[in-house]
Amino acid sequence: MVNFKTLKESLDKNGEVMIRLDNGEKIELYKHNVSFNDSTQEVVVDAAKETYWIDANKIAYYWIHREGIEGKK
């Protein structure tokens, strides 16, 4: 599965990151509403009315959108 620290650094650098869970579900993470629990290796998403805890071991992979990044297509 993905490296927790690398995912955290990518979100910090890019502002948003897409993840795919091991069950195929895709989730878009945004820097303004996501935190990382280092002790439990969980990604915590504050979705206004609900909070989600995602086990980093369940994240199959992640990527960033290239649209909007200057010089990338």
pLDDT tens figures, 56-66: 999 999 999 77
68 Rama sector, left if φ>0, alpha if ψ -120 to 50, beta otherwise? left
- Average pLDDT over every residue of 40-57: 95
Question: Looking at residue 43, what is its pLDDT?
Answer: 97
62 and 5 Cβ atoms separated by less than 8 Å: no
What tokens were used for 15?
A: 């502002």
Beta strands in the chain (DSSP E): 16-21, 26-30, 34-37, 42-47, 50-55, 59-63
Return the residue matching tokens 């895709």: 26
pTM for the whole thing?
0.82
Between residues 55 and 70, the one the model is more confident about = 55
